Amino acid sequence: MAEGLKVENLSKNFGALEVVKNLSFSIPSEERRVVIIGPNGAGKTTLFNLISGELPPSSGSVLLFGYDVTKMPCYRRTHLGLARTFQITDLFPYFTLMENLLLALQAHDPCKYQVLHPLTRYGHLYEKAEGLLREMKLWEKKDFLIGELSHGETRLVEILLGIAGSPKILLLDEPMAGLTCSESIWLGGIIQNLLKDVTLIIIEHDMSIAFDLAERMIVLHQGEIVADGKPEDIRSNQRCREIYLGTCYE
């Protein structure tokens, strides 16, 4: 199996607080839907920050497609084929939807350092943006500022910016955060259907969505992996039920 993401003995301390403790796992690039669950403070977002390069690990290493990227800055990991979205919507509020998307697209185009030619000259970027927006049924709102979109739409734009660079691995940090139940189902459907050839690693709190999406589940608790396996195994794993699903000790 081809190498996708591999994490070896990864640890992260904030002072005396150990947030991620000696984690090791690997996700081959053939795997499509990996869901990471765990109670608050389990270290899920910190793990994402370590993988994407926003935080340097205290020890251990991160390998991406066979390359050791532990010391590689965030933007270069993006060019290897890793993208991420954020738990708290993190877009460009003074740009329109179209301009947000163009910003994400031109990051992967040789024109990005062009100083003297206007952006409008690069028609292929606009075509690609139009394609993505039509696919997501957001084309009518291309000239809206981000603040004029609904919360559900901004969550979708988060994902759009993530997939704009055609990544091989996409980290989705709670894509459904703050959505109503029906919106979650709608966005879950989009995630399920549109990104068939991308390895998605998803942090999710809503159990029903997590079990719907997952082909593999990793359960984190206090910075450690408690369980790692198929959703049905996780569902029946006694330890997981205790710490996560809320069954009391008898």
Partner 1 sequence: MKEETTPRWKPIVAATVGAAFVLLVPVLPNYAVTLATSIIIYSIYVSGVNLLTGYTGLVSLGQAMFWGSAAYCVAILTSRGIVTNFYLVAIIGLFTVLALSAFFGVLALRVKRLYFMIVTFALGHVVWCIAMYPMQRITLGYDGIKDIARPHLGLSLSTTSNVGFYYFVLVVAALCFTFLYLVFKSPFGHAIVGIRDNEHRMTALGYNTFLYKYISYLLSAVIAGISGMLFAYFNGYVNPSELHWLWSGDALMMMFIGGIGSFWGPLWGALAYTGLRYWISSYTMYWFGIEGIIFILVVLFFRGGIAGFVMNLERRLSGRRAKG
Site string for partner 1, 97-136 (x = CB under 8 A): --x--xxx-xxxx-xxxxxxxxxx-x--------------
Pick 133 or 214: Cβ nearer partner 1? 133
Using CB under 8 A as the binding rule, the residues of this chain from 142 to 201 that contact partner 1 are 143, 145, 161, 164-165
Given a contact cutoff of 8 angstroms between Cβ atoms, the answer to whether 195 and 170 are in contact is yes
- Least distance in angstroms from the C-beta of 155 to partner 1: 15
Q: Which H or E element spans position 101?
A: helix 97-106
Looking at 82-90, 199-207, 216-224, 233-241, which segment touches partner 1 (CB under 8 A)?
82-90
Pick 93 or 189: Cβ nearer partner 1? 93
Pick 99 or 228: Cβ nearer partner 1? 99
What DSSP string describes 6-69? EEEEEEEEETTEEEEEEEEEEE-TT--EEEEE--TTSSHHHHHHHHHTSS--SEEEEEETTEE-
What is the CA angle 149-152-155, rounded to 5? Answer: 95
Across the beta sheet with 67-68, the strand order is 17-27, 5-14, 59-64, 67-68
Site string for partner 1, 41-80 (x = CB under 8 A): -----------x-x------------------xxxx-xx-
| CA distance linking residue 14 with residue 70, whole number of Å | 18
Pick 45 or 184: Cβ nearer partner 1? 45
- Least distance in angstroms from the C-beta of 87 to partner 1: 13
Backbone CA torsion sign across 107, 113, 118, 123: negative
Which residues bind to partner 1, rule: CB under 8 A?
52, 54, 73-76, 78-79, 83-84, 86, 90-96, 99, 102-104, 106-109, 111-120, 122, 143, 145, 161, 164-165
